[in-house]
Amino acid sequence: MTILYKKECSSFNNKKNNLFLVWNKINWKNLFRLLFINIENAKKINNHDNYNKLIQIGFNSNFDLIFELLSNNYTNISYLINELQWLTEENNKTGELLSYNSEKIDEGVWGGIYKIKNSKNILKIMKDNELDDTVIGGFYSEILIHSLLSIHSKSKMYVPRLYDIFIISNSKNNNYKYCCRMQRLHYNTQNWLENQKKNSRTKQTKAFEQQFISYLLQILKILDELQLNWNFNHNDLMISNTMFNNTSSEYFKINNVFFPTFGKSFKLIDFGFSSLTYNHINFVSHNYTNNINTEHTFSKSKDVCQLIFDILINFNECLSINMRTYLCSLLTVENFDFWKCYDIHNWNNIKLHEWENSYYVFGHHDFKNTKAHPNEIINDLISSFENSNNNIYCNTDKLLKQKTTSKFHESVCHYFKSKN
């Protein structure tokens, strides 16, 4: 057992800074090592060699400590830092046991995603060769933002549950593997749309149109509520950063109206560039400030614009003609037709051509697009709801008449016909 950072912690005892200043002065990487180890269950796990017993025991998250840390005064913070202990050996053994009993199922920018055998959880493990200070800072800031969303009653249903973090050391080469354990979501939205794209018989059908609207409404509802409660921006919202599990619930509620789920419950994933505000403290991912912009401006339209742009570039063939026109109308801003996604747009000395440029355009503090606020789009779609034989559906013919013109509709059809 090793007690860490006593000298560092004691230096804070007599300070009277406010919470914001204290948070920035703390060596927060070490603080997270202290907070996120589940001490009691780490002890239990090391008393069991059988992996199946580990799965049966399970272990609860200590992420609730973050709320005690962030919601109370400086004395409590100092107390937590001094009293919590990082059990290095137990932490390593637990992480090694989990990683040994897992298989890789996906690869991300920063590392791999591993399915844990006989479990409903996954491990996200960073690559060894990318563990510089910038990347590690990005990893910890992502964990912070994800954990806040994962625990809070107003947001936990919209993201995968995050359980714990492990730091696995390799004594031979003095390397560390940083990994976290979280709830597994079984289906990637991108794969769902790719299959739809390949199936020419069901392209652009009315049935799939309603399924896509259900997806869009669920994501918009998530964004709207997270923005309202957290000033949340995902900052990297593309189709592949939304996933779903099957659900037995036939409907979901949005603005006191019920709409079919079509058996899918969608969530957001991957918060490596995200930002939010909790207890009057603004948290912005290190990945964002180091790779995109040193300053972050909250925007209601940024995430929606990024998502729509990605849909138009990669999956416009899956959309019904009406839905495609409506989405394009949301990307007509300041006389710029951003919906012409295969063209180069020079906006404010920034070129928008590929999705990667969307960070700089849609996230720019001068970019204003009130049409693409989540709640505005939700209201547009709900205003077009109709009931046929007790089946709720969105009448997109009605939607177009309310929100676009026939001339604009023709121009959208002509553009995509010439490009596809």
pLDDT in tens, 61-95: 444 444 444 554 333 333 333 333 333 334 455 56
In this prediction, residue 48 carries a pLDDT of 38
- Residue intervals of the chain classified under CATH 3.30.200.20 are 6-183
Judge residue 246's burial from the number of C-beta atoms within 10 Å of its C-beta, 0-12 exposed, 13-18 middle, 19 or more buried.
exposed
Query: What is the rounded CA–CA span in Å between residue 159 and residue 188?
Result: 14
**Bigger pLDDT: 42 vs 351:** 351
Pair of tokens at residue 64: 């609730």
Pair of tokens at residue 91: 């932490």
Q: Using pLDDT thresholds of 50, 70 and 90, give the confidence band for residue 167.
A: low
Query: What is the rounded CA–CA span in Å between residue 55 and residue 256?
Result: 40
Query: What is the rounded CA–CA span in Å between residue 363 and residue 377?
Result: 19
Question: Among 188-192, 229-233, 293-297, which stretch is predicted with the lowest mean pLDDT?
Answer: 293-297
What would the mean pLDDT of 214-232 be, rounded to a whole number? 97
Q: Do the Cβ atoms of 165 and 91 come closer than 8 Å?
A: no
> For 91-144, how does the pLDDT look when each residue is reduced to its tens digit (9 = 90+)?
455 566 666 678 888 887 677 888 887 788 888 887 665 556 666 667 777 877
What would the mean pLDDT of 318-347 be, rounded to a whole number? 93
What would the mean pLDDT of 292-306 be, rounded to a whole number? 93
Indicate the SS3 state at residue 311: helix
Distance of CA 23 to the CA centre of its chain: 23
What would the mean pLDDT of 201-222 be, rounded to a whole number? 87
What would the mean pLDDT of 331-355 be, rounded to a whole number? 91
- Is the pLDDT assigned to residue 5 strictly greater than 70? no
- Residue intervals of the chain classified under CATH 1.10.510 are 187-419
Pair of tokens at residue 150: 């994962």
Query: What is the rounded CA–CA span in Å between residue 176 and residue 198?
Result: 42
Indicate the SS3 state at residue 109: coil
What would the mean pLDDT of 362-385 be, rounded to a whole number? 95
For the segment(s) 6-183, the CATH number from 3.40.50.1220, 3.40.50.300, 3.30.2320.30, 3.30.200.20 is 3.30.200.20
In this prediction, residue 146 carries a pLDDT of 87
CATH topology of domain 187-419: Transferase(Phosphotransferase); domain 1 (1.10.510)
Query: What is the rounded CA–CA span in Å between residue 90 and residue 42?
Result: 6
To the nearest whole number, what is the mean pLDDT of the chain?
Answer: 76
**pTM attached to this predicted model:** 0.81
In this prediction, residue 125 carries a pLDDT of 81
Helices marked H in 316-369 — which ranges?
321-330, 358-362
Query: What is the rounded CA–CA span in Å between residue 12 and residue 10?
Result: 5
> For 186-196, how does the pLDDT look when each residue is reduced to its tens digit (9 = 90+)?
899 999 999 88
